[in-house]
């Protein structure tokens, strides 16, 4: 009876059970912590990806109207370049615009597909900046071309005005000669003098060299005065 062992076995196994349960509890806590940390990381990654996606969408939205403006400006400038061909005081401006158009047309404004969302957003922002720069360059070159072409047209109209004035001077000289010769009756002579006065007024018409309409109006006035003087002179002689 004194040699019974079961109580000793129970006493020696109890600490081992407690140690095992402790280890299991530590492992369970560690697993929970890892799961929590993983969940936090995943949520953070999801938020970061959503922010990057939003940034990319915003960048694409900002790029779209600039890209559209650039395409429309390129089309309009090509038409302007064609219409101004051979009608420039400075033909080199046509080359400047052609070069600006060629460079603008090489710019790819489509959405990128490579790289991370953040890298794509940065690429879109760079494309927008480049598109704005190209748009400005084309607009400036187009403005210079049109302005130069406008002054070419003024120069052409001024040549026409000078030719009309030369015709007017010749008609006035003939009319004055007819009056000096004493030909015609009083009414005819009065009519010729009135035509000569109108010719003098037409010749004195002021012209703004920067406004083509004033040049054209002066040319028309000279031509009409020439017709009047020639008709009055012919009536005096006839």
Q: What is the pLDDT along the chain (238 residues), one digit of tens a residue?
A: 445 455 555 455 566 666 666 665 555 555 554 545 445 444 455 556 778 888 989 999 999 999 999 999 999 999 999 999 999 999 999 999 999 999 999 999 999 889 998 999 999 999 999 999 999 999 999 999 999 999 999 999 999 999 999 999 999 999 999 999 988 899 999 999 999 999 999 999 999 999 999 999 999 999 999 999 999 999 988 7
Going by C-alpha positions, the residue among 156, 179, 181 that lies closest to residue 229 is: 179
Identify whether 139 is part of a domain: yes
Burial class (CB in 10 A: 0-12, 13-18, 19+), 226: buried
Q: What is the pLDDT, as a whole number, of residue 23?
A: 64
Residue 169 lies in a domain: yes
Q: How far is the C-alpha of 23 from the C-alpha of 57, rounded, in Å?
A: 50
Q: Cα(138)–Cα(107) distance, rounded to whole angstroms?
A: 13
Task: Tell me if 107 is assigned to some domain.
Answer: yes
Placement of tokens 């401006």 in the chain: 93
pLDDT at 238: 72
Backbone angles phi, psi at 88, to 5 degrees: -130, 140
Q: How far apart are CA 215 and CA 189, in angstroms?
A: 31
- Does residue 32 lie within any of the structural domains? no
Q: Per the confidence metrics, is the pTM higher than 0.85?
A: no
Alpha carbons 199 and 165: distance in angstroms, whole number: 10
CA-based angle 159:161:162, to the nearest 5? 65
Domain span including residue 63 = 43-237
By residue count, the chain amounts to: 238
pLDDT (0 to 100) of residue 182? 86
Neighbour tally for 91: CB within 10 Å: 13
43: its two tokens: 């949520």
Residue 35 lies in a domain: no
DSSP 112: P
What does the pLDDT read at residue 199?
A: 97
Q: What pLDDT, on the 0 to 100 scale, is given for residue 191?
A: 96
For residues 231 and 88, what is the distance between their CA atoms, to the nearest angstrom?
39
In a domain, 82, yes or no: yes
User: For position 1, what pLDDT does the model report?
Assistant: 44
Work out how many domains the chain is built from and give that number.
Answer: 1
Look at residue 17 and tell me if it is in a domain: no
Per-residue pLDDT, 53? 86
Cβ atoms of 188 and 236 within 8 Å: the answer is: yes
Inside any domain, residue 120: yes
Return d(Cα 108, Cα 128) in angstroms, integer. 10
For residue 83, the SS3 value is helix
Contact 167, 223 (CB under 8 A): yes
């Amino acid at each position: 009876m004194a040699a019974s062992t079961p109580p000793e076995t129970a006493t020696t196994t109890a600490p081992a059970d407690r140690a095992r349960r402790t280890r299991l509890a530590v492992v369970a806590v560690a697993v929970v912590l890892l799961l929590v940390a993983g969940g936090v990381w995943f949520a953070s990654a999801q938020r970061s990806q959503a922010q990057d996606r939003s940034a990319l969408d915003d960048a694409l939205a900002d790029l779209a109207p600039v890209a559209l403006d650039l395409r429309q400006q390129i089309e309009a400038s090509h038409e302007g370049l064609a219409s101004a061909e051979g009608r420039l005081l400075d033909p080199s401006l046509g080359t400047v615009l052609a070069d600006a158009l060629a460079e603008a047309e090489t710019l790819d404004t489509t959405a990128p597909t490579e790289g991370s969302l953040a890298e794509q957003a940065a690429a879109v922002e760079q494309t927008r900046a480049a598109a704005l720069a190209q748009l400005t360059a084309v607009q400036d070159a187009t403005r210079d071309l049109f302005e130069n072409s406008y002054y070419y047209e003024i120069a052409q109209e001024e040549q026409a005005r000078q030719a009309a004035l030369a015709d007017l001077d010749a008609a006035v000289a003939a009319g004055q000669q007819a009056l000096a010769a004493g030909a015609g009756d009083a009414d005819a002579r009065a009519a010729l003098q009135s035509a000569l006065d109108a010719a003098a007024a037409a010749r004195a018409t002021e012209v703004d060299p920067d406004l083509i309409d004033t040049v054209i109006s002066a040319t028309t006035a000279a031509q009409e005065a020439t017709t009047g003087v020639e008709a009055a002179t012919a009536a005096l002689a006839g």
